[in-house]
Amino acid sequence: MTDLHDLTALEQGELVRRREVSPLELTEHYLERADRLDSVGAFVTLTPELARERAAALGPAPGAGALHGVPTAIKDLNLTAGVRTTLGSAAYDDFVPRVSDGVVLSMEAAGLVSLGKTNTPEFGSPCYTEPDIAPPAVTPWDRSRGAGGSSGGAAAAVAAGLVPLAQGSDGGGSIRIPASCCGLVGLKPSRGRVSGFPLYGDPIGLATAGPIARTVRDTAALLDVLAGRRAEDPSWAPAPPGTFLEACDREPGRLRVARFVTPILADVAVDPACVEAWEDASKLLESLGHDVEDVAVPLPPEAVPVFETCWAVLTALSTAPEGREHQLRPLTRWLTERGRAATGPEFGLAIGAMRRFAATALAALAPYDVVLTPTLAAPPVPVGALRDDADPAADFRAQMAFTPWTSAWNVTGMPAISLPLHWTTDGLPVGVMLAARPAEEELLLALSAQIEAAAPWAGRTAPGW
């Protein structure tokens, strides 16, 4: 007999529409699992009573969306009115926002039911999820290894079957990294696709919210919920002619696929399993009729220190409440010092330089429909393997060596997706990454759906499922 959590989010939404299951029944099912099975560090705060209240109020709704009544969770970086939001920091362990941000409001408007707040590292900065205020988020495929970051709790929750899909955010790979570590689909949308309302806290344009799910279609359905312009938005991606979910049913046509495997951020040896995943994905794309071509790395080494400056300034913008600076983690303090050391003109010059590097990369890749790289340079690593509180500079270097490709598409603003196409011989998931031209999520999703149909992965579940 199929359990509710074996169904996709869209299948659960269909049951709600047919009145074969109620939102409250779904919510109770997942609350029980979250309470019993969260040995993966998925949640920082569970809100069972709020979830039950919201689910009970969601009656049949004419014209309701595909995810109406489906449980989910909110990353603990996103403001949620009346719910503790720690930002992954001990300095904010008692912070309760008075307003919800645009991502939360969009999910509520679509009838999704949040079970609580998912684990994230301090201010979402590291690519591992090991905050001081909660246990580390680990991959359900091997609970001694990290779930990645910064949306590690969201990915751990989905991979462990504690929610069918979840929202994450991505400023340098923070959706795609945990998707790879947890054997999931993770999509970073185009710059401006998802509103930053009401804070608009990223003046550079690196970060955006996006979906994490088990299937491409569930990913597209959640992107339909998250995407859209608000009246206050200073910039936005053009709206697609249809829905992103509809794009999954279209043939992508014969595509030109650029590929490269040379790391961008760091001179690091790539694990053979990640190279094998990339090579196998190349062969699969060719078998589907696409033309795969090797290309040069589109971003030069000179782009790396520019990105580091911008990243450090972004971290410096996330200040602690007065008198609680001592509670910030060593990595945060180190990045903050770097960010504050940059003068206004230096920061402005760095943004300009980064945009010129992005322009050059976009021009070089314009002839190609998509770009293929590994997602990460290694399979999931043991908890603590990257973190180095005694030497934050070494910590930062280790993160770049683990994630040498993901931030490139934050720099260019291109949409990028990690697909769980490979597992190591000892059962660890390894993702591959595809990026498309700006605002071409529809093509990216059509191709991803074609890949999933050819090499399905959703039936493969982690131990303890």
pLDDT digits (tens, 9 = 90+) for 99-147: 999 999 999 999 999 999 999 999 999 999 999 999 999 999 999 999 9
CA distance 126 to 122: 8
Please state the rounded mean pLDDT for residues 288-312: 97
Q: Are 169 and 209 in contact (CB under 8 A)?
A: yes
Q: Which of 210, 199, 240, 249 is nearest to 107 (CA)?
A: 210
257 and 369 Cβ atoms separated by less than 8 Å: yes
CB-facing half-sphere around the CA of 430: CA atoms within 13 A: 26
Count of CB atoms within 10 A of residue 433's CB?
28
Mean pLDDT of 393-411: 98
* Average pLDDT for 38-61: 95
**Contact of 194 with 184, CB cutoff 8 Å:** no
Least confident span in 222-226, 317-321, 376-380, 415-419: 317-321
Q: Catalytic residue among 100, 150, 318, 407, which?
A: 150
Of residues 169, 174, 190, 282, which has the active-site annotation?
174
What would the DSSP string read from start to end of 17-42? Answer: HTTSS-HHHHHHHHHHHHHHH--S--
- Domain boundaries along the sequence of the chain: 10-454
Q: What is the pLDDT of residue 222?
A: 99
Question: What are the residues facing 116 on neighbouring strands?
Answer: 46
**Taking all residues of the chain, what is their mean pLDDT, rounded to a whole number?**
97
Q: What is the CATH number of domain 10-454?
A: 3.90.1300.10
Cα–chain-centroid distance for residue 407?
A: 12
Q: Are 151 and 169 in contact (CB under 8 A)?
A: yes
d(CA 86, CA 464): 28
| 201 to 215, 236, 378: CA distances (angstroms) | 30, 15, 31
392-402 helix and 330-341 helix, angle to the nearest 10 degrees: 90
Q: What percent of the chain has pLDDT over 90?
A: 98
Token output for 223: 């992107």
- Distance, in Å, from the CA atom of 464 to the CA atom of 140, rounded to the nearest integer, reads 8
CA distances from 449 to 8, 28, 62, 261 (A): 14, 31, 28, 23
In this model, does residue 243 exceed pLDDT 70?
yes
What does DSSP assign to residue 406? H
Burial of 370 (0-12, 13-18, 19+ CB in 10 A): buried
Instruction: Tell me what pLDDT residue 60 has.
Output: 77
Residue whose C-alpha is closest to residue 445's, from 370, 362, 374, 363: 370
Please report which helix (H) or strand (E) contains residue 16, including its range: helix 9-17
Show Cβ contacts of residue 237 under 8 Å, excluding neighbours closer than 6 positions: 189, 190, 191, 192, 193, 227, 438, 439
Question: For residue range 71-97, what is the model confidence (pLDDT) as tens digits?
Answer: 999 999 999 999 999 999 999 999 999
Q: Please list, in sequence order, all residues whose beta carbon lies within 8 angstroms of the beta carbon of residue 360, skipping any fewer than 6 positions away.
A: 298, 299
Q: Which amino acid is at 32?
A: E
pLDDT (average), residues 269-288: 98
Taking the model in full, what pTM does it have?
A: 0.98
- Mean pLDDT score, 433-453: 98
Please say if the pLDDT value at position 1 is more than 90: no
Which entry of 75, 89, 106, 318 is annotated as an active-site residue?
A: 75
Report d(CA 85, CA 51) in Å as an integer.
16
> Dihedral, CA atoms, 232, 311, 418, 401, nearest 10 degrees?
180
Q: Note if 150 is an active site residue.
A: yes
- Residue 128 CA to residue 136 CA, distance in Å, equals 8
* Mean pLDDT of all residues in 247-261: 98
pLDDT at 356 over 70: yes
Q: What is the distance between the alpha carbons of residues 453 and 248, in angstroms, rounded to a whole number?
A: 10
3-state secondary structure of 82: coil
pLDDT band at 220 (very low <50, low <70, confident <90, very high): very high
